[in-house]
Amino acid sequence: MRQKNRTLYKNARLLDPATGLDIIGDVLVEGMLISDFGANLHQTLSSQPEKISDISASELRRNGVGLTPMTDAENVAQPNSRDLMGWDIVDCTGLCLAPALVDMRAYLSGDNERHKETLETACNSAVAGGIGTVVASSDSNPIIDNTAVLDTFLRRGREIGTVSLLSYAAITKNIEGEHLTDMGTLYSSGCVGFMDGQRAIQNPRVLLNAMKYAKFFNGLVLHHPADALLAGSGVMNQGLTATKLGLGGIPPIAESMMVERDIALAEASGARLHLCHLSTAKSFNAVRRAKKRGVKVTCDTAPHYFALTEEAVLGYRTFAKVNPPLRSETDRLAVIAALQDGTIDAIVSDHCPQDQDSKRVPFAQAANGAVGFETLFAVTLGLVHQQKLSLLEALKPLTCAPADILRLKVGRIARRHAADLILFDPNHVWTLDPAHLKSKSKNTLFGEHTFKGRVLATIKAGKKVYSVGE
């Protein structure tokens, strides 16, 4: 019988926000699973140095992690019956080991828009950002509103295999906001929730009916809150900056007013509601009040909403055109406050690749969106270095919290759980060169930005799928 993959990561700072774990210790990986973890586990191998290959932390930083290919994923031994022969050992002194990130929303062009991105380049980009699980929005090409498209998408993700590529299904047919899809069948076929992508459902009766339908099987309804009439033809946040640039503005109330509406619908239906990429102080206040009343509501934001403001579009910088738009400094601070008090449950990449022709046009005509997989973790770590969040507080909305919302058994360090891990140096200083992004599109909001903290390796189901420098 072939020897299964066995790797010991020793002397790492182990971080698991699901349990509050923060110790110097080791993780044992056998096959696809974590078999054990804790302090000083490496001492059990110290009597057999000739049976292991020892990889130093300096080599790791310089060359990435070298792990043996995964073999015999099944037949994982129980922690107390481990065969100690033939372990690979990775010395992680000075580094952190945490669950791989769970990105609960990305907008993937898919293989039908190869000039922007393919699913393979998207997955390569995700693992470079430390992401082990990605959930794609329904507004891909083609739109995921029937089981045939859903099955094809999920099968393609399994073929690539570097990340767990999951998907939402559309709430309405062709995401037109009118007629509901066959939500029950789509849920049985493997979608993890329902959303109409970046299109808000303007008709409250349609959304209420969708929530009632989803409640039958405890499905998750996600919504992008934006009142179309209030947003009008606006292309950026309404305010002084928009006036200076002569651009149409979108008032913050276009978001917060629909947040209030959606919460009322969730309260009336009893369904689970997740509000996407919230960006305004009034929106967070509404969510806080709803949670206190016991409404089943969760929400997320994206890094650019706590790292940047509307001033990023000065000079008509189209790479800073996103949906919803970048907001004022007051709203940016409100995002951070909502992360600090737990109002925001998840931080998502909002990864949305756009080609040069879609961005290098006049601002009003430019497409919304920015790539975000490879900056998700680094931008969030900025809040740690600014002493706004602890390391565990920053990791929680990136790992176990979104996993819990989606009811996935990932995002934590636990025995018999999938060995989805990231190894990172929280103090590594580096500058992002857009040309080096793994994503096919390079429309990042953070080009030439210097970060502190970097993912050095991503391990998926026990197998190294990314290491820095490769």
Domain positions in the chain: 6-97+419-437+449-467, 100-406
- Separation CA 439–CA 435 (nearest Å): 9
Cα dist. 5→2, 29, 30, 87, 186 in Å?
9, 8, 6, 8, 36
Position 216: which residue type? F
- Band (41; pLDDT cuts 50, 70, 90): confident
Distance of CA 33 to the CA centre of its chain: 22
- The pLDDT of 363-370, averaged and rounded, is 96
Contact residues for 217 (Cβ-Cβ < 8 A; gap 6+): 184, 187
Contact residues for 51 (Cβ-Cβ < 8 A; gap 6+): 45, 84, 85, 86, 87
> Across all residues in the chain, what is the average pLDDT?
91
- Separation CA 335–CA 300 (nearest Å): 10
- Separation CA 173–CA 469 (nearest Å): 43
Catalytic residue among 16, 350, 420, 425: 350
- The pLDDT of 125-132, averaged and rounded, is 98
Q: What is the pLDDT of residue 109?
A: 73
More confident residue, 449 or 1: 449
- Band (67; pLDDT cuts 50, 70, 90): very low
Q: Is the pLDDT confidence value at 20 over 80?
A: yes
- Report the DSSP beta bridge partners of residue 91: 10
More confident residue, 85 or 209: 209
Please check whether the two domains, 6-97+419-437+449-467 and 100-406, share a CATH topology.
Answer: no
Q: Known catalytic residue: 300? A: no
What digits encode the pLDDT tens for the residues 407-427? 999 999 999 999 999 999 999
What digits encode the pLDDT tens for the residues 267-291? 999 999 999 999 999 999 999 999 9
Q: What is the pLDDT of residue 44?
A: 62
Which is it for strands 450-460 and 463-467: parallel, antiparallel or unpaired? antiparallel
Coil vs helix vs strand at 392? helix
- Band (115; pLDDT cuts 50, 70, 90): confident
Enter the tokens of residue 173.
Answer: 């047919």
Q: Where are the beta strands (DSSP E) in 276-354?
A: 297-301, 346-347
Start-to-end CA distance of the chain, whole Å, equals 31
Q: Is the pLDDT confidence value at 7 over 50?
A: yes
Q: What is the pLDDT of residue 47?
A: 52
More confident residue, 310 or 61: 310
The percentage of residues in the chain with a pLDDT greater than 70, rounded to a whole number, is 89
- Band (75; pLDDT cuts 50, 70, 90): very low
Q: What is the pLDDT of residue 286?
A: 98
Q: What is the pLDDT of residue 85?
A: 57
What digits encode the pLDDT tens for the residues 322-354? 999 999 999 999 999 999 999 999 999 999 999
- What dotted CATH number matches 6-97+419-437+449-467? 2.30.40.10
- Separation CA 193–CA 273 (nearest Å): 10
Q: Which of 45-49, 178-182, 296-300, 397-401 has the least mean pLDDT?
A: 45-49
Q: What is the pLDDT of residue 111?
A: 66
What digits encode the pLDDT tens for the residues 81-110? 344 456 888 999 999 999 999 999 999 876
- Indicate the burial class of 126 (C-beta count within 10 angstroms; 0-12, 13-18, 19 or more): buried
Coil vs helix vs strand at 367? coil
- For the entire predicted model, the pTM comes to 0.92
- Per-residue burial over 307-327, b = 16 or more CB atoms within 10 Å of its CB, e = otherwise: bbbbbbbeeeebbbbbbbbbb
Please name the CATH architecture into which domain 100-406 falls. Answer: Alpha-Beta Barrel (3.20)
